[in-house]
Amino acid sequence: MALDRFSTQSAAYAQYRINYPAALYDWLLPQVSGRERAWDCATGNGQVAAALAPHFAHLDATDLSANQLKQAPALPNVQYQVSPAEHSPFAVASFDLITVGQAVHWFDEPAWHREARRVLRPGGVLAEWGYQLCRLETPELNRVLDEFHDVTSAPYWDANRRHIANEYVNIPFPFAEVQRAHFAVEKHWTVADMLNYLGTWSATANYARQHDGADMVALVAAELTRLWGAQPRQVSFPVFARAGKPLSL
């Protein structure tokens, strides 16, 4: 079962984590035949729930972190509650769609996929996606970011984080009619935006816990600020996605 890794930085997470592109929903929603009820699992600050809410009569959104849910928008057809992914409070065959953004790598995979199959309706869709380390405008900026990610922060990442780098290829997906896609999220960020984003990493939180509250981002701030300059810069996040339906018995 997943641990709550993001409560301590929940406010920053809501402000600086990316919103997924419209193209992702344009790809996903035509695959979903029913529009009565959806579940956004590991909803965090509710960004996916808010994007899906106009398309469904009712949407349930769950997360391990009560602090994260406090950042989520109040919407008339969305119900938020604290729940683990692998053991939800929902009845059999409840949902037309289940979504998980940037979280499946934290789950107990067999238990999660059993639960998803249990609560999906016949013909329902499970969609899982994530995003990889962003790319910046210049080789120099990418070098600094890569060193911070691959060297400085490497000892503080949970082992399951490796699944993001390989697009979940080693996490089984026992579903049928599987569709896969890639997207990009483009941001125009100042260096302050980037440093605040780095502060939302689970590795940053792990570093602080192990070093009496010290800020790991301070180790890269000066060099990144020098190279970045005062102007906003283009930041590109690669997004990968997969979707499928329960296997026929």
Which CATH number do you get for residue 99?
A: 3.40.50.150
Specify whether the CB–CB gap between 42 and 130 falls below 8 A. no
The pLDDT of residue 160? 85
Per-residue b or e along 178-191, where b marks 16 or more CB atoms closer than 10 Å to that residue's CB? eeeeebebebebeb
The pLDDT of residue 1? 43
Nearest to 202 by CA among 53, 25, 68, 62: 68
Q: Does some domain include residue 241?
A: yes
DSSP 65: -
The pLDDT of residue 18? 82
CA 233 → CA 55, 196, 221, 228, distances in Å? 34, 15, 16, 8
Q: Does some domain include residue 196?
A: yes
Distance CA 108, CA 92 (A): 20
Q: Does some domain include residue 2?
A: no
Task: Provide the residue-wise pLDDT of the chain in tens; the chain has 249 residues.
Answer: 455 444 444 455 456 668 899 999 999 999 999 999 999 999 999 999 999 999 999 999 999 999 989 999 999 999 999 999 999 999 999 999 999 999 999 999 999 999 999 999 999 999 999 999 999 999 999 999 999 999 999 999 988 888 998 999 999 999 999 999 999 999 999 999 999 999 999 899 999 999 999 999 999 999 999 999 999 999 999 999 999 999 865
Q: Does some domain include residue 1?
A: no
Q: How many domains does the chain have?
A: 1
Specify whether the CB–CB gap between 37 and 59 falls below 8 A. yes
Q: Does some domain include residue 47?
A: yes
Distance CA 144, CA 142 (A): 5
Q: Does some domain include residue 66?
A: yes
Distance CA 239, CA 130 (A): 6
Q: Does some domain include residue 87?
A: yes
Domain assignment of residue 90, given as a range: 7-246
**To which residue do tokens 């919103």 refer?**
19
Q: Does some domain include residue 237?
A: yes
